[in-house]
Amino acid sequence: MKSELVAGESILLVDRKQRAYLRRLERGRRLSVRGGTILCDDLIDRAEGRVVRSSLNEPFLVLRPTLAQLIPQLPRRAQVIYPKDIGLILVWADIYPGARVVEAGAGPGALTLALLRAVGPEGEVVSYEVREDFAEMARANVERFHGKAANWKLKVADAALHLDEREVDRILLDLPEPWSLTERAWQSLRSGGLLLSFVPTVLQVKNTVDSLRAHGGYACIETLEALLRPWHVQGLSVRPEHRMVAHTGFLTLARKIQRGE
Ligand SMILES: C[S@@+](CC[C@H](N)C(=O)[O-])C[C@H]1O[C@@H](n2cnc3c(N)ncnc32)[C@H](O)[C@@H]1O
């Protein structure tokens, strides 16, 4: 990727207090930020990593957002999976270039964006979302922040009733009752494939694990959570930040095996 910014891209304007404002570059447009304005034409075709001044003479650092910076700012009406969990999911669910992945519970599409990036153009992502309005949000976010993706299919359907893909490498469930998909997910996965569920409460974890164990077609079942503690590093003040996101959810993982083995 080149450093020069192009029209249509999203950028962050970072102020002196490290507050980041997500904006989109469009030719001829004026961006409003903290009461002042910045001309898009002064940013397009010029490198990210520069400081620009708004009409109020306030300096802003111009950067493309990383996925971790983008996700908390995604337009949304449903909870997204936080970057700390998405990082863990990509490695523990072993999402690799070329993988065939199904996710259920697309919501605003935060995980979808990470999956599309991880599977690459050779891979394939199918997302289920039961609510049309949330599916529309996922569509808009993927188009805006990933771009057109020929290898992405969004199905507006209840995954517990309609998930019907076959020979899938990975299935990721981010919905309230993952245990309602235990059998369907098993039918969809290839042998050796991996199922991951993400739920916020321990009762949901227990139901999920009990259901996977009782099924007989899953092995290597494990549950974990990620705690991420940011640090404040300024002069001699080097310490954990006073605030952190203490709880998001639990990951449960399982591998599909031949039933009963
Ligand atoms: C927490 S949100 C998903 C967030 C998303 N994974 C992200 O990272 O942006 C859960 C979503 O699951 C959807 N959902 C719940 N039950 C479902 C089902 N049975 N089939 C498909 N989608 C479902 C809800 O409508 C909601 O949008």
Mean pLDDT in residue range 220-239: 97
Alpha helices in the chain (DSSP H): 67-70, 83-92, 110-119, 132-145, 159-162, 182-188, 202-215
Is a pLDDT exceeding 90 seen at residue 75? Answer: no
Q: What is the pTM of this model?
A: 0.94
Could you read off the pLDDT of 8-49 as tens digits, one per residue?
999 999 999 999 999 999 999 999 999 999 999 999 999 999
Q: Whose CA is nearest to atom 2 of ligand 1?
A: 107
Could you read off the pLDDT of 55-72 as tens digits, one per residue?
999 999 999 999 999 999
Check pocket membership of 126 for ligand 1, CB cut-off 6 A: no
Is a pLDDT exceeding 90 seen at residue 232? Answer: yes
Indicate the top mutation candidate among 174, 177, 179, 201 to test ligand 1's pocket, ranked by most ligand atoms within 8 A of CB: 174
User: Can you give the pLDDT at residue 78?
Assistant: 85
Q: Whose CA is nearest to atom 23 of ligand 1?
A: 105
* Local structure of 154: helix, strand or coil: strand
Mean pLDDT in residue range 205-214: 98
CA 85/CA 225 separation, integer angstroms: 8
What is the sign, positive or negative, of the torsion defined by CA atoms of 205, 87, 70, 131?
negative
Check pocket membership of 78 for ligand 1, CB cut-off 6 A: yes
CA 112/CA 104 separation, integer angstroms: 10
Is a pLDDT exceeding 80 seen at residue 260? Answer: no
Give bridge partners of residue 50 from the DSSP assignment: 62
Give residues with Cβ within 8 angstroms of 113, minimum separation 6: 67, 70, 71, 141, 142, 145, 146
Q: Whose CA is nearest to atom 11 of ligand 1?
A: 105
Indicate the top mutation candidate among 88, 103, 175 to test ligand 1's pocket, ranked by most ligand atoms within 8 A of CB: 175
Check pocket membership of 82 for ligand 1, CB cut-off 6 A: no
Q: Could you tell me the pLDDT band of residue 199, with boundaries at 50, 70 and 90?
A: very high
Check pocket membership of 110 for ligand 1, CB cut-off 6 A: yes
CA 197/CA 192 separation, integer angstroms: 16
Distance from Cα 62 to the centre of ligand 1, integer Å:
33
Check pocket membership of 173 for ligand 1, CB cut-off 6 A: no
Check pocket membership of 145 for ligand 1, CB cut-off 6 A: no
Check pocket membership of 174 for ligand 1, CB cut-off 6 A: yes
CA 107/CA 129 separation, integer angstroms: 7
